[in-house]
Chain A
Amino acid sequence: MDPLILSFALVNGLLIGGIYGGVALGLSLIFGVMRVVNFAHGSLLMLALYAAFWLQALAGIDPYASVVVTVPLLFAVGFLIQSVVIAPLIRRESALVVEPLSALLLTAGVYLVIDNLALMAFGPDVRSASTGLALAPLMLGPIPVNSQRLIAFSAAILAAILLSLWLRSTRLGRAIRATAQNRDAAALSGIDVPLIYAVTFGIGAALLGLFGSLLATFIPISPQVGLSFGIRSFIVVVLGGIGSIPGSIVGGLVIGVFEALASQFVPATSAAILSLGLFVLILLVRPSGLMGRA
């Protein structure tokens, strides 16, 4: 196996893996704080992609500039979904920690509704956005690195760092962490738990808003695009450790590199089976993930 080809594969794997990690950040956060497995995670990314697309198609806004709109927009969507759809479930089950299975089913319903409303509203055709920025590939030696992916990768790393810092140093961030550790104690210390939940969900969605804008230029946009990202995000989050922000990035990188390298030796279809197998193995052997505390 040509070492140049392998290193090319490695670089690609890192890039796409970092992107997966960034996309999965929101899922990790939401699960870590609320114990809700958000089945609609991919659907929200799909909405963000469409938002970026329509902003360009209708208002001529470059996808990179549209971040200013998509992030708050998706925050609002996430906030709303939590307050309106999921909060009643948590209220009902307030005697126990929310039954994670009901939340999974509920968010599955959300996924079905969002994906198919998108199909109805936007039609089934595949769309794509393009950026006005002329970005030549960055050359790492002989290896061309696609600039758009590099930007998304950098954004993922940056977002993870900023999010970690924010959670640690701001009052709101600390409140979120407190709620994650012990909801009842947090409530007793005066934290408005339902608000925290809504904000957390909003932040998780807002992160997707960011990536929707960044990915719109090179990911084909269709109503179905959400599901595969959603499943990938689960794998990443489990691999990296539920609720661990750096874990999300690490998990993403591991998956990305693994698939990229494996695809050199076996067809991508078999590599997909291997990824799933890896996922199962991690769950059985080290369920807390790579960066979670056992």
Chain B
Amino acid sequence: MKTENPRAWLLVLPVILLVAFNALIPLMTVVNYSVQETFGNNVFFWQGVDWFEQVLHSERFHDALGRQFLFTGIILAVEIPLGVAIALAMPRKGIWVPICLILMSLPLLIPWNVVGAMWNIFTLPDIGLMGYGLNWLGIDYNMTQSPLAAWVTLIVMDVWHWTSLVVLLSYAGLVSIPDAYYQAAEIDGASKWSVFRYIQLPKMKQVLMIAILLRFMDSFMIYTEPFVLTGGGPGNSTTLLSIDLVKVALGQFDLGPAAAMSLIYFAITLLVSWVFYTIMNKDVKE
């Protein structure tokens, strides 16, 4: 029988208060800002849904949203298979296990702005090791001038920073598979592919969904790294949603449109996260 104690809710109270202060109240304020115009001094003018209409019809927002989805799509398409492949290649026993795990954790320990600064210097065409090296090899590479080079750098940087997370999660999923499964597969003469397809992949499904969810949310909200690396340039080519949002809110001080934009941004993130969460939960129940 399930025992219930309503007093347990009291223990949740501090968290509710904390969430109210750091999430709910700011969110309510953003909603209030999104329907008003202000010129500072705490004076507001009612504007209705004008800002939403403006944002929905703004080509600049469409472009930033498109770039954001492209970036997140590429990131997921590269990091998830790569992370699984590295996890499969990692040793399961012996002295190399901790060494591999520490090596894998290192990029995750570096703060975002430092990663951005590192890669900025690393890829500069005149002094950076990678930038100079590529040009020395005869490859025309200049991420401060060519949008393609900027995108490649941005993606390589994110892959370098975050693939480890997928590796660690997948590895945790892999080591939890009992040896009996592998022994049974060996007796049946299963190929390596079958072992992966019918034993390892299903067992990793849960953690992989979490990895996809985390990587989706993080890459969809990414700000610091591209801001430090390219500043959204060259031109607007790497201006992702959050960079554009900050430009509108703090650069132009258009708080109303920025609020409307962030609410639309929030709704999209919420929808995709809910879809992932629902798929995950469905699998757990099955």
The yes or no verdict on A and B being binding partners is no
